[in-house]
A = this chain, B = another copy of it.
């Protein structure tokens, strides 16, 4: 029926306090003792009662995930990743949808944190990119982990996951170059997103590295939407000396670009290569399927959560930040240049 810490203590022949130490990953427990307890936990399939723990302790074992990002696929991936780490570490997850554009968003978050005794927060864009959020959270002493786009670790002592959009964009651009493309259009996401900026830089760096002139006229300002992909592609395809490949800042844009191209009876990838970014379901729902950069959101979220929980537990990890680079995923929308 219900397995309590007492049962585990009895079975393993130690006090409940020691069992508690084991479940909380505290340091001063002899390895042999720890093993015994772990075995008992396994055997009984014991799960600590979270309510009791948070009642008794002064610490909180609840973390919050604040989201707003309208990209549902991204949120679900993140949420699933966070959740799996929470389960592993016996933390609770509080989901907090909110509107990042609301004027008093920061105070809303703060009051939620106080209400629910939150120990830490997982921050994804746009929240992770708002300095004021990080500041205020530090101020009230709540830990947080940020998932950010960038190449170098920011100057901070809060944990973070850096998604290396630059390198990934470089790699995917190199892929196009290797296929013989030299006129490569670029449809960007909103410039307010760090990820957009990084991807543009990676794209430019790849061109430079291969001694290809970067035609500024092939870089279209867009946003992360299907519609923007349609419009961006239309602009690019109308140009004299039109590109033989299009790097879309994400898969949704790529899907739009694909749509627009097919409307003009351009065959993909024979007459035009299109690549996306993120490996979201969009990239698999089109025909042909889109070559993209696989951004393992669920893994990223899991790691981020692990870093956050480490920090909450005040265990100084080897690394406070991790870097993850999305990897090239070649599918059917990219091919060699044909004349």
Interface string of A258-276 (1 = CB under 8 A from B): 0100110100000000000
B55/A115 in contact, CB under 8 A: no
B95/A83 in contact, CB under 8 A: yes
Whether A165 is near chain B, meaning CB under 8 Å from some CB there, is no
- What is the total number of residues of chain A having a CB less than 8 Å from a CB of chain B? 33
Cα separation A262 to B97 with both chains bound (whole Å):
37
Q: Which of A68-76, A144-152, A314-322 lines the interface with chain B? A: A68-76
Closest to A53 in B: B51
Q: Which of A25-33, A179-187, A223-231, A240-248 lines the interface with chain B? A: A223-231
B51/A55 in contact, CB under 8 A: yes
Interface string of A71-103 (1 = CB under 8 A from B): 011011001100100000000010101000000
CB distance from A100 to the nearest CB of B (A): 15
Cα separation A286 to B230 with both chains bound (whole Å):
9
Cα separation A127 to B265 with both chains bound (whole Å):
43
Instruction: Report chain B residues within 8 Å CB of A286.
Output: 226-227, 259
Instruction: Report chain B residues within 8 Å CB of A24.
Output: none
Cα separation A79 to B95 with both chains bound (whole Å):
9
Instruction: Report chain B residues within 8 Å CB of A49.
Output: 55
Cα separation A259 to B51 with both chains bound (whole Å):
52
In the complex, which of the residues B50, B54, B72, B227 contacts A287, with contact meaning CB atoms closer than 8 Å? B227
B47/A227 in contact, CB under 8 A: no
A72/B83 in contact, CB under 8 A: no
Instruction: Report chain B residues within 8 Å CB of A140.
Output: none
Instruction: Report chain B residues within 8 Å CB of A95.
Output: 79, 83, 93, 95
Whether A252 is near chain B, meaning CB under 8 Å from some CB there, is yes
A230/B287 in contact, CB under 8 A: yes
B72/A115 in contact, CB under 8 A: no
Which 3 residue pairs spanning A and B have beta carbons closest together? A72-B72, A226-B285, A51-B51
